[in-house]
Structure 1
Amino acid sequence: MEFAKRMEQFGEGVFSRLAEMRKERVAAGKNVIDLSIGAPNIPPAKRIMEAMAKAVMDPANYVYAISDRKAMLDAVARWYQRRYNVTLDPDTEICSLLGSQDGLAHIALSILDPGDIMMVPDPCYPIFADGPRIAGAELYYMPQKKEHDYVIQLGDIPEEVARKAKFMLVSYPNNPTAAMAPIEFYKELVAFAKKYDIIVLHDNAYSELVFDGREWGSFLELPGAKEVGVEFNSLSKTYGLAGARIGYCLGNSKVVGMLKTLKSNMDYGMFLPIQAAAIEAISGDQSIVAETRAAYERRRDVLCDGLIEAGWQMDKPPGTMFVWAPIPASYEYSEAFVKDLLDKTGVLVTPGSAFGPSGEGYVRMALVQSEEDMQRAVDEVKKSGIFA
């Protein structure tokens, strides 16, 4: 059998390797506190589950959706108007995604030809780079450095790269670094994209998970943003709907329209009961959003305060559901530290090397366990003496 040469770019995913490490430890009768995969464990509000359950019991909802229902598109438009003060045309400026991961993979196919340049953050969530690779694009990594608070320095991008680039992706609050960019960055981003005729994708999956009284908005609030690009948003973390796979592409009508055309040839739309759940999530009582944010903030405090006390020097994240922390100076590679940490403490985290060239030397921890489990992780690290 012969397979596509593009598959030579992809090995076994890091999360599959971490899952195997977890499986082996559990099989040996040892405990694991899994902080590796960002899989939310806060369930949806009861009203959202009830809306989906009711729709699931309707036989009429088992046809192909084909396209997004008008009721859902209208609800999304109202959500963006209410939450971000952004006006969107439901018919031309909104497209559902079967989760942001689906959209991040497919939008590259609708914009990039083989050999085109795509600019992605470094470090970055793996699919940010993998989607363009599937499309045959060449990657230019935009460094996110600690000395700049992990904010991309657009002025450092070489002129020849900027002129050749066709598409760029940015994401704040950021996965994996948890950084937040100032409004000045976004103003510069719009001007940069206009100057070099670059399509911008802003991934805004963590807009509701910001802590210590901070606030966050939308890229599309910026004057001129809709002229240069789109934003992705997701219901996975905010509303506990990760497994339902609900995301949206919003903004520039040409970009949204091209993605819709591609998707019409690749899938039959979002399952209608899931559309019902999405409508209920973004249209009903929004108190769950503040409750979810508070839960992640408490988990962050328990984990970070405890690990800092144990000798692990790190910054407390201002947002997201992740902690980005440097590995001890005695380790050269993050994967080696991850293995040692698991062996000595039972705490499983993700090596920073999984997130691109600049990720080496760090690990990412996901705030996806209870406060009690976070405290257990802290206790195990303290007991191990790994940071003594």
Structure 2
Amino acid sequence: MFDEIRFNRVDNLPKYVFAEINDIKAQMKKDGQDVIDFSMGNPDQDTPEHIVDALVDSARTPGTHGYSPSQGIPEVLDAIASWYKDRYGVNLDTKTQTVATIGSKDGYSHLAYAVTNPGDVAVVPTPTYPIHTYSFILAGGAVEDLKIKFDENYNVDEDDFFDKLTHIFDTAHVKPKYVLVNFPHNPTSATVTPNFYKRLVAMAKERRFYIISDIAYGDISFGGYKTPSIMEVEGALDVAVESFTVSKSYNMAGWRIGFFVGNKKLIGALVKLKSWLDYGMFTPIQKATVEALTGDQTCVDEITGRYNHRQDVLIEEFAKIGWNIKKNKASMFSWAKIPDCVQEMGTLEFCKRLLEQEAVAMSPGVGFGDDGEGYVRIALIQDDARMEDAAQRIGRFLENNCKEEN
């Protein structure tokens, strides 16, 4: 009925590549099959007890069950500012330079909607976490891809990045208004140095564009590497905003809370839009986030250590079946080139067959854009025994399917 009525914004979205994997996976689990799932960055451990206790205490406190300010309660905004001061030595005005969001994904869609005019262009490095691209497209903007180049140790070639970015600005029919960066990078786990942000801030001031930085995996780093923040750069508050989420380093993915900090104009636009769209998050969740950001940080070290260990186990077990993966310095993922003998399948077909034949789920690189083809993203959300089991299953899969391909 009413076939003539169309929903262009939704109809124009491409098919969500991960949906195919998710549908197969859901049916297999429903049928009782034992699926080893590496496909989503969904922490498998519980939220630390002291954070849960803060939620419970707040939920039992009278007056905490009504609407809350859409920008965030004052305590959580103070905690965000304190977290930045402690981590990065950055001073923020909580009233004008901080905002809590219902997860970072929701925050990106709202920010893009707030600041994008029809036809505005954003530069987004590829491969990319889909919301980084489609937040702008859904808001009526356009996206210019910038393929990132990195070495075998996942260090971004920063000169190459800026050469490509300069070329985009020199040749663009419509000058980009925004440049989005996401390091540690999702999906590749590639990382940058502090100098990268110094160069980017300087270029933003020269070329007159805003920077949107995502450091969702900023706490999860190994081997002495520390994730830099663009906010550490002098003058960054003039041209940049940055997002973080408590989902990963505090195991709070289902709680749906993150935040943006930075440039007053962009933060103000997001706050104004949120005042029309939502009433803020449940106050006890925000109170628990205060505890997460300002309380005992031992849990962050433990969670980071667990991902570091799991990456080592993954590399060791997969090497036994001839799938060699290099270790990265940050994030909760491994970005792995699929074995040569199955490259012709393409990553979507590889992931579908692996799931159907051996009940191992991974994210196909093509789901993060064409530049992700040939790779898979492996979330480090399984324990040692499960990773050993997965390696054995994959080894069997490669034996069978490499023969078929040859």
Q: Give TM-score scaled by structure 1 length.
A: 0.95
1:79 to 70, 77, 83: 83
Looking at structure 2, the residues matched to 51 and 219 of structure 1 have their Cα atoms a distance apart, in angstroms, of 31
The alignment status of 1:197 with 2:208, answered yes or no, reads yes
User: Cα 1:28–1:69, aligned 2, differ >3 Å: closer, same or farther?
Assistant: closer
2:310 alignment partner, SS class: helix
Please give the secondary structure, in 2, of the residue aligned with 1:323: strand
Q: Which of 48, 60, 65 is residue 68 of structure 2 equivalent to?
A: 65
Q: 2:228 aligns with which of 204, 211, 217?
A: 217
Q: Deviation digits for residues 298-323 of structure 1, max 9, x if unmatched?
A: 11111122112311132222110111
User: 368-377 vs 148-157, which deviates more?
Assistant: 148-157
Aligned-residue CA RMSD in angstroms? 1.8
Change beyond 3 A, Cα 1:210–1:174: same
How far has the Cα of 1:28 moved from its partner? 4.5
Q: Deviations over 1:290-344 (max 9, x none)?
A: 0000011111111122112311132222110111111233333111111222234
Which whole-Å deviations, capped at 9, do the CAs of 1:27-57 have from their partners, x for residues lacking one? 4543210000111112221111011012122
Partner residue in 2 for 1:338: 351
Aligned equivalents of 1:97 and 1:37: distance in 2?
21
- The match for 1:141 is 145
Aligned to 2:124: 120
> Kindly, what percent of the aligned residue pairs are identical?
36
1:6 maps onto 2:6 in alignment: no
Question: Are 2:104 and 2:258, in contact at CA under 8 Å, matched by a contact in 1?
Answer: yes
SS in structure 2 at match of 1:61:
coil
Post-superposition offset of 1:162: 9.1
Unaligned runs of 5+ in 2: none
1:111 and 2:111 are equivalent in the alignment: no
Q: How does 1:217-296 map to 2 (within 5 A)?
A: 217-296=228-307
Match for 1:365: what amino acid? Answer: I
Q: How many residues are paired up?
A: 388
Q: How does 1:24-39 map to 2 (within 5 A)?
A: 24-39=27-42
SS of 2:340's partner is coil
* Structure 1 runs, 4 residues or longer, greater than 6 Å off: none
- For the residue of structure 2 that corresponds to 1:62, the secondary structure is coil
In the alignment, the residues of structure 2 paired with residue 181 and residue 79 of structure 1 have an alpha-carbon distance, to the nearest angstrom, of 21
Q: Cα 1:32–1:286, aligned 2, differ >3 Å: closer, same or farther?
A: same
- Higher mean C-alpha displacement, 324-333 vs 81-90: 324-333
CA distance in 2, matches of 1:360, 1:97: 32
Q: What secondary structure does 2:22 align onto?
A: helix
Structure 1 counterpart of 2:360: 347
User: In the alignment, is the contact (CA less than 8 A) between 1:150 and 1:177 conserved in 2?
Assistant: no
Q: Which residue of 2 aligns with 1:323?
A: 334
The yes-or-no answer on 1:155 pairing with 2:163 is: yes
- Alignment CA distance shift 1:24-1:70 (3 Å): closer
Amino acid at match of 1:307: F
Match of 1:50 in 2: 53
The 1:119/1:69 distance shift into structure 2, 3 A limit, reads same
